[in-house]
Structure 1
Amino acid sequence: MPTGIAMRDAREQLFAAAERVLVRDGANGLSSRAVTDEAGVAKGLLHRHFPDFDGFLTQFALEHIARVEARSAALRESAGTGTVVANLTRALADLFGPVMLGVVGLVISRDAVRTRLRQATGAGVPVLKEATRMVHGYLVAERDLGRVTPGADIDALAPTLIGAAHLLLADKEHTPPHPGDLERAVAAVLAGTRH
């Protein structure tokens, strides 16, 4: 491994390798050896840039949390266009792709990583909490535009939508759900809340 590799390049290379391992082998397959082998770098590179493997995984998860926040802005900008159900269905399907599902599994399965993430992001289950905020912000924007009823309980709807989408899309051991299943679930959760 050549010396002098910039931190950003090393991070990106290691994070990309972690994504591939996570999608292929799940959260239990993540180890410093698996990541460095996948990246084709010496094991010491990871430890040169991160205090320990849990520190690496915490930064990896924080990168994905930042992506949720970017998706959140894009979803809010879609308010007033298309339909509420279609916008949410697309956003949830995009959010819960293979990598993010793996990150959720990682956060749930590794106590040390979850604890560090909570120190950085606050209470709640990291990643799912940010995803819930994404949906909540979108529903508020649609309510402000009159496309969601004023009395809709957005505080209950947002986590319900996240839970339903996660349950439908998380089972990678079996056949993926029919594309219409997620849309039907979103429509059912929002029944009676749209104008």
Structure 2
Amino acid sequence: MPTGVHIRDVRTQLFDAAERVLLRAGPHGLTSRAVTTEAGCAKGVLHRHFPDFDGFLAELVRDRIGRLDDQAAALRASAGTGTVADTLAEALTTLFGSVAVAIVALITSRDELRARLRDGRPAGGVPLLAEATAMIAGYLAAERDLGRIPGDADVTTLAPTLIGAGHLLFADRTAPAPDADAVRRIVTTVLADTGGRQSPSA
């Protein structure tokens, strides 16, 4: 890799390479050598910018969690448009159709990584899934405020239920991706627990 390359470019190159390896080979195939080989750079490049491999992985996860901010803002802004079920189904597909499922598997497979990610975080919850749950809860709260789901809907229960069900649906990365109807069935089943009082546009 040429000298003088800005660290942000190096980080992006290494993070993108790590995602490709993770999707192709799974958590156990994700090694520092595999990442640098995929990125087309010397192994020492990774260790010049990160203290160790778990430190690199922690920054990768934090970077990908940060990307949820834009999706959360767009999802909340969509409240009041389309149908609640369709919007949630699309949000779950966007979330879990990406590298998110593989990253969750990575987090749960590495004790040291989980320990690093706990620093500065509220107790409880799997990183990325916790932020995704907050994203869905924020959207549901906005729809509740608009009267499109019942005023007594428990969004703090609905959100993790949707995230958990969505994660299970997409968890087998070796199987064909679930179709839109399968995702929507999960959403409508969970929303039915609000008492069936969604507005016609929900």
TM-score, reference length from structure 1: 0.96
Q: Given that residues 101 and 170 in structure 1 are in contact (C-alpha distance below 8 angstroms), is that contact kept between their aligned partners in structure 2? A: yes
Asked whether 1:194 is paired with 2:195, we answer no
- Assess if the C-alpha contact under 8 Å between 1:152 and 1:193 holds in 2: no
- Number of residue pairs matched? 195
C-alpha RMSD over aligned residues: 1.1
Aligned-pair identity in percent equals 58
Q: Match of 1:55?
A: 55
C-alpha distance in 2 between matches for 1:3 and 1:157: 50
Residue pairs, 1:31-110, within 5 angstroms? 31-110=31-110
Distance in structure 2 (CA, Å) of the matches to 1:144 and 1:158: 16
**In 2, Cα distance between equivalents of 1:110 and 1:7:** 26
Residue 92 of structure 2 aligns with an amino acid whose one-letter code is L
The amino acid across from 2:152 in the alignment is G
Deviation track 1:99-154 (CA, whole Å, cap 9, x = no partner) reads 11111111111111111112133222100000000000000000001101011111
**Structure 2 CA distance, aligned partners of 1:84 and 1:120?**
33
Q: What is the CA distance between 1:37 and its match in structure 2?
A: 0.3
Give the superposition deviation at 1:173: 2.2
Q: Is contact 2:89–2:180 with CA below 8 Å preserved after alignment?
A: no
* Structural mapping, 1:111-122, within 5 Å: 111-122=111-122
What are structure 1's unaligned runs of at least 5 residues?
Answer: none
SS at structure 2 position matched to 1:121: coil
CA distance in 2, matches of 1:129, 1:69: 13
1:19 counterpart letter in structure 2: E
Gaps of 5+ in 2: none
Shift of 1:89: 0.4
The answer to whether the aligner puts 1:171 opposite 2:172 as a matched pair is yes
Task: Give the structure-2-normalised TM-score.
Answer: 0.93
